[in-house]
Amino acid sequence: MSGPRLSPGDTLVVATHNKGKLREFADLLKPFGLKTVSAGELGLPEPPETGTTFEENATIKAVAAATASGYPALSDDSGLCVDALDGEPGVYSADWAGSDKDFSRAMRNVEEKLQLAKAVSPEARTGRFVAVLCLAFPGGERRYYRGEVEGTLVWPPRGTIGFGYDPMFLPEGHERTFGEMSADEKHGWSAGRTDALSHRARAFALFAAAELQD
Ligand SMILES: O=P(O)(O)OP(=O)(O)OP(=O)(O)OC[C@H]1O[C@@H](n2cnc3c(O)ncnc32)[C@H](O)[C@@H]1O
Ligand SMILES: [Mg+2]
């Protein structure tokens, strides 16, 4: 690959203010020997996410962090796309929880809209989690990695592990929601593997293969 590279010992800014994502990135990045620091630890503000695609918002967050810090930065823009709701909440997944980040309310909102759409059977309640990672360098170079996982929206929510919409999301081929899975089970990935389960771990596996191997 041409352009700037990441090497063991380098500092990488994890350009998110979401504690759930930060925990997951700490797990995923652990084997690779980078020095990681979060945007919050650096005192960086949360940039307004004015894009209409995951790629645009991931770019805004990574470029802001790389520019302000002078280090390479990895952002994650993600969300839950529900088929019966024409892909909503999608890039607005965080907004549905309001300024107090109340995801019980956000999940109830999804459920109410599914009821209005008469989406009752599991086949009518399909959707996916999407994550787009942007790796941005202070010099302007950017690279993108995307992961998706298909699943079904269940009601009532199940489990208290994880964050966000996890308790409502039953990944295809599994019997437990993300809210009932340990972090390792939700990732479904460890260093050296190419497969993964969650949208974030799938995107991360592509990032690791491209950016963190010799
Ligand atoms: O922008 P940053 O600072 O990274 O944090 P955020 O929470 O605002 O993140 P997004 O803008 O990407 O919004 C995505 C929302 O989608 C939800 N989401 C994304 N990945 C998820 C996951 O693995 N499990 C549950 N919910 C998830 C979560 O609630 C996020 O708040
Ligand atoms: Mg956000």
Q: pLDDT at position 110, please?
A: 98
Nearest CA to ligand 1 atom 12: 77
Those residues whose C-beta lies under 8 Å from the C-beta of residue 174, and which sit 6 or more positions away, are 181, 197
Enumerate residues with CB within 5 Å of ligand 2 (an ion). 94
Q: pLDDT at position 52, please?
A: 98
Q: pLDDT at position 194, please?
A: 84
Q: pLDDT at position 24, please?
A: 98
Of the residues 13, 14, 18, which should be mutated to test ligand 1's pocket, given the most ligand atoms within 8 Å of the CB?
A: 18
Nearest CA to ligand 1 atom 28: 164
What are the residues facing 171 on neighbouring strands? Answer: 151
pLDDT tens for the chain, residues 1 to 214: 678 899 999 999 999 999 999 999 999 999 999 999 999 999 999 999 999 999 999 999 999 999 999 999 999 999 999 999 999 999 999 999 999 999 999 999 999 999 999 999 999 999 999 999 999 999 999 999 999 999 999 999 999 999 999 999 999 999 999 999 999 999 999 888 889 999 999 999 999 999 998 6
CA of 54 to the centre of ligand 1 (A): 11
Q: Are 63 and 184 contacting, i.e. CB atoms less than 8 angstroms apart?
A: no
Q: pLDDT at position 191, please?
A: 84
- ipTM of this predicted structure: 0.99
Q: Which residues form the pocket of ligand 1, taking CB atoms under 6 Å from any ligand atom?
A: 16-18, 21, 46, 49, 61, 76-79, 93-94, 103, 129, 162-166, 178, 198, 200
Fold of 11-211: Maf protein (3.90.950)
**Ligand 1: which atom is nearest the Cα of residue 200?**
23
CA of 34 to the centre of ligand 2 (A): 24
Cα gap 8→18, rounded to integer Å: 25
The annotation places the binding site for Mg(2+) at 77
